[in-house]
Amino acid sequence: MLTFVAAALAQETGAPPEARREDVRPQEARPAADEPGSGLRFLGIVALRTAASNISTTNPFLNGQLVGELGGTNTTTTTDEVGHASEQRVGAFFSYTPPLWDGRLQLDAAFEVDFAFGDQAYGIGGNTGGGFGADQVNLQTRRMGARARLGADTWIVAGLQFVGDGSADPTRSKPDDLFRSGGRLMFFGSEAAGLSAYGTIGAPIRYKLGAYTLVELGLATPDDVTLYMADAAWSPAYAQRVGVHAWYLRDKAAGLGSSFGTGPSSPLSELQGGPRLDLRPTGEGPAPVVNADLLWVGLDHGWNAGLDRGRVGFTALAVANLGRLYVEELRDRDVRGFLADVELRARIAEGEGSVARVELLASSGDDPATDTYEGILTGNAYAAVGAVHGTHGCLLLFPDVTAINRQVARVYDVSGAGAGVAAVTGGVAFDAIPNRFTLGVGGGHARSAAFEPLGSELNARISGKPWVLTDLGLKGAVLLDTDLPVTPWIVLASFDWLVI
């Protein structure tokens, strides 16, 4: 199985890059065409990153592309040796609104090239192409869809698109609208092909309806994985938001759909720190075929979540995960899990980076002695990377959302490999030069629902903006209290450029 791990390449995680353009292009300026005879918009993302770390992999097929649980089935471990690697990502995001249609129709497309320096040349494959000679066929299609505006406030999106777990339109929202509302991308946050509707009801209510095919095996047979989503957010008062969410996933793929399979009993789920449920009565013999009906129901509340309407912001999320696992020729199993998350942030001085924060995360853990799966399930059981926790501020304890091709963490999935998670993360940062130069420290501690230690992180960072829309940073982290052979650590330098 390990020879196929290289197929689990690190994908864009967290908020889609085009969401960042909100910082420089106000929402009311879209979606109408720019000027008569134009209508073409472009956003580029350039990310460079070089790192030194004692994290390595024992699989020779992995050379720079790696996702999943640190110390898990992706074969990562720690050694006394120090490894160095550099990598780069360039993304191009286009939208074209033909003047003929007066802003009512729009074509969206996004493409990406990722590689580690020196990794491969004269070949075919995504997330590679930085070897001597280059000439790699490595262009990745990340979006390809059409938008239609119905009336003044409703958009219909059809095709390959970014799918989040909230009511915000990912391509027309700030990052805080995605990371700090709805499911916070902890449950679903990746590309999918399907149909979405985004709109408003009056001024205070925003909604999303969506239907997506996650896995299509046979075009004429009912063996697919489909996802249906309904989200709404209500703003009852200044700076407040209340959200309600319901997501239903029907899994008829019998565990198929990728090199690692799909679903809660698949190696794909285990690779990314989710559960790999062994539903065999004695633990011996071939694994049974498993299908599923899964439902997530959630509530979230935010007050000044983006810190743009005051100095203090608060967010809270509660999600119940229900459903049933259908085990071929064996007894079916119920799913009963929950997750809760609370974050408090405060602006402590002048400057966008001068923020102190603390976050508490708790998810239920499975009890193997019962016939019910009592943990939670996420999109990581159906895609690499299908979901990611992105507000923690850690580099090793939880996934680093700024990673390009190498994204590993001790707690990669908020299910805690089915054992649950109880975690506290936080940090404080100060703009020594407001909006230009930032110093910060942070960290976190996580345990399973049974209170077994998962790890404790300490980290620090320095970042500056040498030019407009650029960021130059230096970060470092150490992860303590783990069962790995050597204490994991990483030091990295990064450069990010938003091209508009």
From the list 273, 222, 276, 229, the residue with the least C-alpha distance to 249 is: 229
Helix locations, 254-310, DSSP H: 267-271
User: What pLDDT score does 227 carry?
Assistant: 98
17 pLDDT band, cuts 50/70/90, is: low
pLDDT over 70 at 13, yes or no: no
Length of the chain in residues, anyone?
A: 500
pLDDT (tens digit per residue) in 169-198 = 998 888 999 999 999 999 999 999 999 999
| Contact present, 383 and 214 (Cβ < 8 Å) | yes
Residue with tokens 């074969």: 75
From the list 451, 420, 498, the residue with the least C-alpha distance to 42 is: 498
pLDDT (tens digit per residue) in 137-155 = 999 999 999 999 998 889 9
Q: Give the residues across from 191 on adjacent strands.
A: 162
pLDDT (tens digit per residue) in 41-58 = 999 999 999 999 999 988
pLDDT over 90 at 365, yes or no: yes
Total domains in the fold of the chain = 1
**Degrees (nearest 5) of the Cα angle 298, 302, 306?**
125
Neighbours of 37 (CB within 10 A): 7
Out of 21-25, 209-213, 342-346, pick the least confident. Answer: 21-25
103 pLDDT band, cuts 50/70/90, is: confident
Q: Tell me how far apart the alpha carbons of residues 347 and 106 are, in angstroms, rounded to a whole number.
A: 38
User: What pLDDT score does 63 carry?
Assistant: 63
Q: Tell me how far apart the alpha carbons of residues 185 and 179 are, in angstroms, rounded to a whole number.
A: 6
| Contact present, 109 and 94 (Cβ < 8 Å) | yes
Mean pLDDT of the chain: 90
Out of 2-6, 217-221, 360-364, 367-371, pick the least confident. Answer: 2-6
What residues make up the domain containing 128? 2-499
Amino acid at 219: L
Is 265 exposed, middle or buried (CB count within 10 Å of its CB: 0-12, 13-18, 19+)?
buried
| Contact present, 366 and 384 (Cβ < 8 Å) | no
Which domain CATH number covers 368?
Answer: 2.40.160.100
Q: Tell me how far apart the alpha carbons of residues 47 and 34 are, in angstroms, rounded to a whole number.
A: 27
Higher pLDDT: 204 or 5? It is: 204
14 pLDDT band, cuts 50/70/90, is: low
Q: Tell me how far apart the alpha carbons of residues 205 and 193 are, in angstroms, rounded to a whole number.
A: 26
HSE-up of 368 (CA within 13 Å, CB side)? 12
Would the CA dihedral through 62, 186, 254, 334 be positive or negative? Answer: positive
pLDDT (tens digit per residue) in 268-283 = 999 999 999 988 877 7
